[in-house]
Amino acid sequence: MPITEILPRAIAIPPMLRPDGAGAAVRARNLGRSFAGNRVLADLDLEVRPGEFLSIVGKSGCGKSTLLRLIAGLDQPSSGSIGVDGLPADRAGDRLRIMFQEPRLLPWATIAGNVAVGLRRGPDPEAVAEALASVQLADKADFWPAQLSGGQRQRAALARALVSHPGLLLLDEPLGALDALTRLTMQNLIRDMHDRAGFTAVLVTHDVAEAVALSDRIIVLGQGGILKETAILRVGPTRRGSPELAAIEAEILDAIFAA
């Protein structure tokens, strides 16, 4: 049985059926970032459309994580500007959420308590329960993070990121530490949530197959800027491992290695 049949993917909902204005737009202009005189990003222009799923790939140290941290407002650019819906990232509030490579759950809070961290305006048990149900963790609400598996913890982190219905979800290699099967399940979950909620997603990953499976567009980062840009048109359910996707994957890998 091919793996796509074990792990069915929801049919992508056409953008016009999505709730209006659900996704935020990201715009970077002449973006630069140097660390101790070492230019990691230089004069980078990037635009992410509302509701788009964009992946950033590239070699280690190509600046993909730096770019994500700049979008998140966790780091400030050395030059140029970056904005989420026209606002600086640190003013985007709960419109912008980030998922890290580690779950980063508070060990002293229950899973429900951890999801509630994502809510700005006080506790809201209903919203928390809904978010937990959407990642299939409803029965784990009162567990401590230490009692969950790695995949479950990362799902709890996803629920925390999405409980406030953000317009932009930033993903910093969130599946890198998971085993291969759990990773596939998580990929489907993330893409499903994206298709249903309509948020904009920016994923940083070193796994090109993952980027191809999830994204509408992939950019290859290197030498401080964008080396290659590939749009992936999705009509109906995409089969993992189809010849078209394999060709795209090979093309992107070539671009990465050519850098």
Partner 1 sequence: MSLAETLKVQRLAGWRPSLPQPAALLPYAVPAAILVLWEIAGAAGLIADTVMPRPSAILATAVRMTASGELLNHLGVSATRALAGLAVGGGIGFALGIANGVSRRSELLTDATLQMIRNIPHLALIPLVILWFGIGEGAKLFLVALGVFFPIYLNTLHGIRNVDPQLIEMGRAYGMNGRTLFRRIVLPGALPSIFVGLRYGLGIMWLTLIVAETLSASSGLGYMAMQAREFMILDVVVLAILLYAALGKLADTLTRALERRALKWSPAYANH
Least distance to partner 1 from the beta carbon of 113, Å?
Answer: 9
184 Cβ contact list (under 8 Å, min separation 6): 3, 7
Closer Cβ to partner 1, 107 or 236, answer by number: 107
- According to CB under 8 A, which one of 54, 67, 98, 252 is a site residue for partner 1? 98
Least distance to partner 1 from the beta carbon of 231, Å?
Answer: 29
Closer Cβ to partner 1, 170 or 218, answer by number: 170
Pairing between strand 38-48 and 200-204? unpaired
- Compute the distance between CA of residue 135 and CA of residue 157 in angstroms, rounded to an integer: 10
In a 3-state reduction of DSSP, which class is residue 121? coil
In a 3-state reduction of DSSP, which class is residue 170? strand
- According to CB under 8 A, which one of 12, 42, 109, 177 is a site residue for partner 1? 109
Least distance to partner 1 from the beta carbon of 15, Å?
Answer: 27
Least distance to partner 1 from the beta carbon of 141, Å?
Answer: 14
Q: Does 121 bind partner 1 (CB under 8 A)?
A: no
Q: Does 107 bind partner 1 (CB under 8 A)?
A: yes
Sign of CA dihedral 140, 143, 149, 151: positive
- Compute the distance between CA of residue 34 and CA of residue 108 in angstroms, rounded to an integer: 37
Which part of the chain contacts partner 1 (CB under 8 A), choosing from 23-31, 92-100, 123-131, 222-230? 92-100
Q: Does 182 bind partner 1 (CB under 8 A)?
A: no
Which part of the chain contacts partner 1 (CB under 8 A), choosing from 40-48, 78-86, 98-106, 205-213? 98-106
- According to CB under 8 A, which one of 83, 102, 182, 239 is a site residue for partner 1? 102
- Subset of residues 140 to 159 that bind partner 1, contact rule: CB under 8 A: 144-149
Least distance to partner 1 from the beta carbon of 143, Å?
Answer: 10
User: Does residue 211 come out as left (phi exceeding 0), alpha (psi in the -120 to 50 range) or beta?
Assistant: alpha
- Compute the distance between CA of residue 3 and CA of residue 156 in angstroms, rounded to an integer: 25
Closer Cβ to partner 1, 116 or 220, answer by number: 116
Closer Cβ to partner 1, 45 or 139, answer by number: 139
- According to CB under 8 A, which one of 7, 12, 13, 74 is a site residue for partner 1? 74
Sign of CA dihedral 127, 133, 136, 141: positive
- Compute the distance between CA of residue 91 and CA of residue 221 in angstroms, rounded to an integer: 27
What are the contacts of 66-70 at 24+ separation with CB within 8 A?
Answer: 66/33, 66/40, 66/41, 67/28, 67/31, 67/41, 67/204, 67/221, 68/98, 68/170, 68/172, 68/202, 68/204, 69/172, 70/28, 70/31, 70/33, 70/41
- According to CB under 8 A, which one of 25, 94, 206, 225 is a site residue for partner 1? 94
Chain contacts with partner 1 (rule: CB under 8 A): 72-74, 93-94, 97-98, 100, 102, 104, 106-109, 117-118, 120, 144-149, 160
